[in-house]
Each structure stands twice: as C-alpha cells, then as structure tokens.
Amino acid sequence: MIPAKFKKVSLLTVAAALLAGVAVSAAAPRAQLLPVPKVVAPAITGDTIRDVTKELSSDAYEGRGPASRAEDLTITYIIKRFKAAGLRPGNKGSWLQDVPTVDITAKNADGMTVNAGGQTLRYKFGSDIVAGSYRVTPQTRIKDAPLVFVGYGITAPELGWNDYAGVDMKGKIAVILVNDPDYETADESGLFKGRRMTYYGRWTYKFEEAARQGAAGALIVHDTFPAAYGWQVVNSSWTGTQHYIASANNAMDQTQANGWIQKPVAEEVLKASGQDLTALTAAAKQQGFKAVPLGSSASLSFDNEVKRATSHNVIGILPGKKRPREYVLYTAHWDHLGRCTPDKTGDDICNGAIDNATGVGALVSLAEANVKVGAADRSQVFMSVTLEESGLLGSRYYAEHPVYPLARTVGGVNMDGVGPGSPSKDVSVTGGDKSDLTRYLQAAMKAMGLYLTPEDHPERGGYYRSDHFSFAKLGVPMFSVGRGSDWTQGGKAAGQAASEDYVLHRYHQPSDQYDPAWDWSGAVQEISLFYRLGRSLAMTTDWPNWHKTDEFRRIRDKSRAGVK
Ligand SMILES: [Zn+2]
C-alpha cells in the first residue's frame, strides 16, 4: 500500500463548494443527474476486522508472501470467511482466479555504449544506467539503435498532445523526461493538472507508450525533483528480480529494454549529439513539441533468468436482485512482503497487519453487512487480490482477464490500510476529483457529517499506486478514499501522530504487527463509509464516468460503447 501520509488528500477543486454545502461536479453538466440512492448502513462492529486482522497477521501466515505455503493458508482462510459471510464463489463456481506470474532477473549486464558525434561513450549498469526486459526472453540484445528525444513521451488525444507525432520509433530508443510538462506549476491548473501528478507523468506509462509506438527501447532521464526520489531508489528497485504477469505472447508487444539513465548521462549524450538537455526540456513543455532524432545510437545487452509461478485472487459474489449482470466491486489485497529483512530483534516476518490484513478484514465485514441487509439491485463482487506489493499484479491480471466484463462493471472501492484508532471528522481522497463518483462520496459524507481535507502531496501520484488503479487504467471508476486525520479523539494532533508513527516505524517493516490494545472504532466508521459508497452504486441505474479531460475517460467511453 501507499504510506498513510500519501493519503492525506482531497478533492481540492470541490472542497470550497462542499464546505459551502453546494452540490458540484466538475463533469460536463448533464441534463438530468440521477439522485444518489439513500442507503443506511446496518450496525457494523469492529469484531470482524479485528479477528481477520489478528488471524492473517499472525506469524503462522509468515507475512503472506505470494505463491508460498503462506498463500495456501491465507486464501483458505479468506474463502472460509467469504463462505461464512454468505457469499457465493465468484469465478464460475470457484473462489479462485489463477494469476500466472513471471520473475525476470537480469544477468551479465555489460552496460550501455553510445556512438554520438564520432565519439564512443560507455556507461555502467547500476551507477549510470539501469535497464530490464518486460519480454520473457533469455537474452536482450540491442545493437546501434538510433536515439530519439521524445520529451515527456506522452500521447493524450483528449488534451491535443502527441510527443510522438510524425516519428517512426521502430527499432529506435526513446529518451524520455520524467513526470509531465507542468509539474512545476504551484497549483493544480494546467493541461496536466499542474503539480498534481497524472498518469502521463508515471514511469510505467512512459514504458507502455513507448511500446505502443513500437520502440526497441525506452530510457527515462532521472531527475530527483520531478521523480520525487533519488537515483538510489531507481537503482535498488531496478536491480534484482522483477515481477510480471505471464502473458500468452510472452510480452513480445513490449519494448526490448526499459530503463533509466542518470541526468548527467543524458546531458553528455545530448551534448555529444549536438543538442542541449536544458533547451530540449524547455521545448518539450510546449504544446506542439516535436520529437528530436539525435543522430546518435546506443547498444546494450544482458541475459534474463526467468522463473514462473502461480498465485491467486479470491473472488466472492452477492448476486444482484434486479440487474445481476451489472457489477460493483470491493477490493483489498491479501498479499504482503512475506519473510523480509530482520529487525534488531531478529524478527524477519513482515506481518502486514495494517497493510493489508485490515483491508481484507474490512472486505469480509462489508460482505457480512451486505448479506445481512440482502442483495442489492446490482451484483456486488468482493475480491481479495494478490501481488499488490509486487506492482499491483493481481488486480491488473483480473482487470485484463475479468470474470465480469469491465464494460458492465459500474465502479468500486479499494481498501488498502484501514488503520486502528479514533473515528475522524474528515475524509481523505487520493487522486482528487476525477469522476462522477465525487457525488456519491459527497452524499455519504453529508449523511455521516464528515468534511474533506485537501491532499498534502498531489504531486506524488498516490492514485496510481494501489489496486484501484488497475481498474481505473482500463476505464472502471474507482474510489480511493479513507478517513482523514482530524480524529474525534485527540483531533489532528492524534491523527497525524498515528500516521507518522505508522510511516516511520511500521510501514513495510516487521513491526507492522497486530496489537490487542487497538481501538477499532475508527475502522468501523471507515467500513460504514465504504458500505455507503458501494451500496449506493449497487442501488442506482447510473453509470458514473470520468470527467471529460480525465486520462481514463476515453478508455471508459470506448469500453461502454460496446454495451447494448
Ligand atoms: Zn497495501
């Protein structure tokens, strides 16, 4: 999951209007907006989330590493709880969906050689460049591939932006700037939402787009400020084993190599090619920017050690009464880091109590609450996904191989970290006001007497870093919300102290452990909020969409166009 401090976020653009009690939506005004159905949450106690969290974070589960003995224990327990709650198996009679994975480890990497302006420049793996292959292939060999500077490497038709216009990338390597063109803006105005990160600013997008353009390779120019982390982070996360979903074509539609280069490397290569990185960066921020072939070429090669495994998503369903072929999702990842670096006491089990045994506990609690009230009009799908910690792979696999068509999946709520502590007076939203789901959140907040707190770090792109994103990316509108830190017991000081303690002392460490002294009243409030959000989506005939200029709107429109 994303650390709690990244979740102190909000719908900035509507906050003021909300406070004034005005119903707003940044969406294009429709002739008639369907009212948000009124739903009343049944009595929810903290017993279920407490019991599930205690069980799944006990040492017996060894930190819930995927494709291990711990996975068998974990999915068996979740199925038991789903069954007891009264759900039905969610995958054609089965509780499980297989998630085939590939682990690739680069070996024998001998760096990158660039030929530019009659010079031969050599760069070392690790200190100058990191690279890997998405393709499942024993060897990666790129020889004298022409380099093309493609600015931010963005194709966004809804914004009239195309960094690849007029260039043929076949057999070439794209040199790409990190983030998006207006990341230095102080507020969230601008084509790419100013300082708020959009998906176009994420490194994952840049590699995907380069592949769509047919490039042989893609190299992102690292720069600490827009990347928001130093080279050390890039280096450590790109060396060692990388995890991917297995695909029928062995990912041959991807580039041969994706990687990062240090900024001084890019400066040197561009200079030797008769260009200037600063000048080209300035040009790349302007609409109408044209990609620049550098007249230089690069070679790189390494071997790939490949290992395959299978993990599982657990899926249950409460079929709808009136429109069973329309679906609303609740998701929470079950996996965590498994055995990890030992702490001072020698404890090497990353138990993942908050991250994300609590989310699974909330999921079971929501199944129980919905069954108790009775089936909704639409079907409700409860899914505990795997491999979130390895790059959202379980949710991505489901989204790419959905049991229920995404075009008929209305939207949903993802839960990643439903922490203990006091109830709150506020709600935090990751990602800002992106879709018509805002109206559903407003209705729930109003009913519960909650207010919205502005997002602390919209530039960090928290929305793109947990499982809801896997669905959003393929068009399904998803909530990423949680309770804020203005606690009813102890106010902001208490809420912020708890969140700081978690980020500094527990997040992704063996100390993310169950504590019998935990107060679950805040978690109960959060589950009630999730109940309202999911249930109101399951009781309407509405199809909330992304706002007009949102990066996922065009994908959703295309997907929904196929529905009769
Ligand atoms: Zn998590």
305 CA → ligand 1 middle, Å? 28
In a domain, 34, yes or no: no
Ligand 1 centroid vs 102 CA: distance in angstroms? 21
Q: How far is the CA of 175 from the centre of ligand 1 (A)?
A: 32
pLDDT digits (tens, 9 = 90+) for 54-91: 999 999 999 999 998 999 999 999 999 999 999 999 99
| Same structural domain, 526 and 406 | yes
CA of 514 to the centre of ligand 1 (A): 15
Encoded amino acid at 300, one letter? L
pLDDT tens string 477-518 = 999 999 999 999 999 999 999 999 998 899 999 999 999 999
303 and 319, same structural domain? no
Tell whether 37 is covered by a domain.
Answer: no
Q: How close is the Cα of 136 to the center of ligand 1, in Å? A: 27
Average pLDDT on 451-465 reads 84
| Domain-terminating residue out of 256, 277, 307 | 307
**332 CA from centroid of ligand 1 (Å):** 8
Structure tokens at 103: 């682990």
Q: Around Cβ 106, how many Cβ atoms within 10 Å? A: 22
Residue 462 has pLDDT above 90, yes or no: no
Report CA(417)–ligand 1 centroid distance (Å). Answer: 6
Position 108 in a domain: yes
Rounded mean pLDDT, 436-453: 96
**Within a domain: 38:** no
Report the percentage of the chain scoring pLDDT > 90: 81
Q: What is the dihedral of CA 192, 198, 199, 202, to 10 degrees?
A: 100
- 130 and 79, same domain (yes or no): no
CATH of residue 131's domain is 3.50.30.30
How many angstroms is it from 105 CA to the middle of ligand 1?
Answer: 24
CA of 66 to the centre of ligand 1 (A): 14
Q: What pLDDT score was predicted for residue 194?
A: 86
Domain endpoint, select from 248, 274, 307: 307
In a domain, 30, yes or no: no
Last residue of a domain, one of 269, 286, 307: 307
Together in a domain, 190 and 265: yes
Asked whether 352 and 513 are in contact (CB, 8 A), the reply is no
What tokens does 123 get? Answer: 């760069």
Residue 122, classified by CB atoms within 10 Å of its CB into exposed (0-12), middle (13-18) or buried (19+), is exposed
Report the separation in Å between the CA atom of 389 and the middle of ligand 1, taken as the mean of its atom positions.
Answer: 7
* Dist. CA 419 → ligand 1 center (Å): 11
pLDDT confidence of residue 380? 98
Q: Are residues 222 and 369 in the same domain?
A: no
Q: Are residues 151 and 89 in the same domain?
A: no
How many angstroms is it from 117 CA to the middle of ligand 1?
Answer: 48
For the chain, the domain total comes to 2
pLDDT over 50 at 3, yes or no: no
For ligand 1, the distance from its centroid to the CA atom of residue 83, given in whole angstroms, is: 24
Do 167 and 127 belong to one domain? yes
CA of 126 to the centre of ligand 1 (A): 28
126 and 92 assigned to the same domain: no
Distance 340 CA to ligand 1 centre (A): 15
CA distances from 202 to 198, 362, 373 (A): 7, 29, 41
Q: Looking at 30-44, 140-154, 249-263, 396-410, which range is the least confident one?
A: 30-44
Q: Does the pLDDT at position 22 exceed 50?
A: no
Please give the Cα distance from 450 to 427 (Å, whole number): 6
Range of 409's domain? 4-20+44-100+311-561
Cα(430) to centroid(ligand 1), Å: 14
**Domain presence at residue 25:** no
Rounded to whole angstroms, how far apart are CA atoms 356 and 468?
Answer: 14
Could you tell me the distance, in angstroms and rounded to a whole number, from the CA of residue 109 to the centre of ligand 1? 32
CA of 555 to the centre of ligand 1 (A): 26
Check whether 135 has a pLDDT greater than 60. Answer: yes
Classify residue 438: in a domain, yes or no. yes
- The C-alpha atoms of residue 27 and residue 311 are separated, in whole angstroms, by 39
The predicted pLDDT at position 458 comes to 83
C-alpha of residue 22 to centroid of ligand 1, in Å: 34
Q: Residue 13 pLDDT more than 50?
A: no
Task: Please state the rounded mean pLDDT for residues 328-333.
Answer: 98
Joined tokens for residue 266:
């890019």
Report the range of poorest mean pLDDT among 198-202, 225-229, 360-364. Answer: 225-229
- What's the 482 CA to ligand 1 centre distance in angstroms? 13
User: Domain containing 350 — which CATH number?
Assistant: 3.40.630.10
Residues 110 and 90 in one domain: no
Secondary structure E strands in 322-425 = 323-333, 338-339, 349-350, 378-385, 409-414
32 within some domain: no
Question: What distance in angstroms lies between residue 553's CA and the mean position of ligand 1's atoms?
Answer: 26
Contacts of 183 (CB under 8 A, 6+ apart): 192, 194, 195, 197, 201, 226, 459
Residues 122, 269, single domain; the answer is yes
Instruction: Tell me how far the alpha carbon of residue 1 lies from the centroid of ligand 1, in angstroms.
Output: 3
For residue 201, give the DSSP letter. Answer: G
Considering the domain architecture, whether residues 110 and 75 belong to the same structural domain is answered as: no
Q: Distance, CA 511 to ligand 1 centroid (Å)?
A: 15
**pLDDT for the residue 31:** 53
Tell me the average pLDDT across 369-396: 97
DSSP state of 350: E
Interval between CA 444 and ligand 1 midpoint (Å): 24
Residues 456 and 512 in one domain: yes
CA R_g for the chain:
24
State residue 105's pLDDT score.
Answer: 93
Nearest by Cα to 379 from 331, 335, 340, 328: 328
Compute, in angstroms, the gap from residue 333 CA to the centroid of ligand 1. Answer: 7
C-alpha 337 to ligand 1 mean position (Å) = 10
**Ligand 1: distance of its center to the CA of 440 in Å?**
24
**Ligand 1 geometric centre to CA of 330 (Å):** 15
| Burial classification of residue 226, based on how many CB atoms lie within 10 Å of its CB (0-12 exposed, 13-18 middle, 19 or more buried) | middle
pLDDT at 27 over 90: no
Mean pLDDT, the chain, integer: 92
